[in-house]
Amino acid sequence: MSELPDVTVYVERLRPRVQGQPLEKARVRSAFLVRSFDPPLSDAEGREVVAVSRMGKRIVFGLQGDLHLVFHLMITGRFRWRDRGVAVPKKMGLAAFDFPAGSLLLTEMGPRKRASLHLVRGEGLPDHDPGGLEPLDCALADFRAALLRGNHTLKRALTDPRAFSGIGNAYSDEILHRARLSPLRWTTQLGDDEIERLWAAATATRAEGTGRLRAEVGDGFPEKVTAFREGMAVHGRYRKPCPDCGAPVQRIVYAENETNYCARCQTGGRMLADRALSQLLKKDWPKTLEEWEALRGGGEEGVRGPE
């Protein structure tokens, strides 16, 4: 899923391309993309883009006449900047938005179309803002208040858009690894020093992630937006060595999301239970990193460690 660094760089690269330019035509290929009907999308055509901004993980085009195009890319939605009038791809294409300087394609991998577009009047724009705190420039006291608003696991708290803006699955893993905290710790169990460590990790991780993307893209347009990037410590690095201690990175999987962590750095060597596998293996589920490594090295005999 696109997160704050990805969305930030999209916004920065879109501004010089579309801001101050009229949206000449919106060519929608997927019937699932547009989730609003009043005003109709045709009302956006011919209007100048007066602002491009970020609202959490959403990208907003402010148009003349107090209309706003609100894009949510969800998990696999991506923008592509192409020559003006380019055809919308049949397989992955959702829409194309034509401007004098080029066309902005919106694509999405996979059969489940989750990316969305709303055209809203100004008074309706706040309805699309989850209201989460901006983790890059918030004070420690505000961070603590948002974190402790409810009693949740740290993984859930960090990825809740009503608590924190723009943190998703990938960067929550990186933040928790940097802070040396278990993703399944409860927010109300944290001491003041741990909350400060988490706040510092959230600020630094997001800033560094955005900086790496800016350097990678340069003056061009982002073409390889992905949750799995070189330089990440744990996310997408299952079984690879932790860059800090060398222990194999672990993961737990739930539905379509996975949590990556280092047992040695974050949980004191304790293995976190994967719901499906731990229920299947029951008493044979390895409780510590040492047990897991022993099972992994035990050949074909005995119980296999978590895959």
pLDDT exceeds cutoff 70 at 286 = no
61 DSSP assignment: E
The pLDDT of residue 164 is above 50: yes
Q: What is the CATH number of domain 140-217?
A: 1.10.8.50
When pLDDT is averaged across residues 30-51 and rounded to a whole number, the result is 96
**DSSP H or E segment with residue 197:** helix 192-217
In whole angstroms, what is the distance from residue 3 CA to residue 168 CA?
A: 6
Entry pTM: 0.84
Is residue 287 very low, low, confident or very high in pLDDT (cuts 50, 70, 90)?
low
Q: How high does pLDDT run on average in the chain?
A: 87
- Phi (first) and psi of residue 92, to 5 degrees: -110, -10
Residue 41: band (very low, low, confident or very high) from pLDDT cuts 50, 70, 90 = very high
User: DSSP string of 94-115?
Assistant: EEEEEETTEEEEEEE-SS----
Work out the average pLDDT over 209-235: 82
The arithmetic mean of pLDDT across residues 232-245, rounded, is 93
The whole-angstrom separation of Cα 136 and Cα 4 is 10
Which segments of the chain belong to CATH 3.20.190.10?
4-128
280 C-beta neighbours (distance < 10 Å), count: 11
Confidence of residue 119 (pLDDT cuts 50, 70, 90): very high
pLDDT at 99: 98
115 Cα distance to chain centroid: 13
CATH 1.10.8.50 spans which residues of the chain? 140-217
Percent of the chain with pLDDT over 70: 86
Tokens at residue 218, please? 């340069």
In the chain, what's the furthest Cα-to-Cα distance?
70
Using the predicted structure, report yes or no on whether residue 76 has a pLDDT greater than 90.
Answer: no
In this prediction, residues 36-63 reach a mean pLDDT of 96
d(CA 50, CA 105): 20
Chain centroid to CA 190: how far? 24
Confidence band, pLDDT 50/70/90 cuts, at residue 298: very low
Q: Is 263 exposed, middle or buried, given 0-12, 13-18 or 19+ CB atoms closer than 10 A?
A: buried
Domain 4-128 belongs to what topology? N-terminal domain of MutM-like DNA repair proteins (3.20.190)
Res. 134 pLDDT band, cuts 50 70 90: confident
283 has a pLDDT exceeding 80: no
Instruction: Please state the rounded mean pLDDT for residues 267-276.
Output: 79
Residue 237: CB atoms within 10 A of its CB come to 20
Please give the average per-residue pLDDT across 61-88, as a whole number.
95
Is pLDDT above 90 for 146? yes
pLDDT of residue 75: 84
Residue 281 is predicted with a pLDDT of 41
pLDDT for 300 equals 31
pLDDT for position 111:
77
The C-alpha atoms of residue 57 and residue 153 are separated, in whole angstroms, by 21
- pLDDT at residue 229 in the model: 67
pLDDT (mean) for 191-206: 95
Lowest mean pLDDT among 133-137, 228-232, 262-266: 228-232
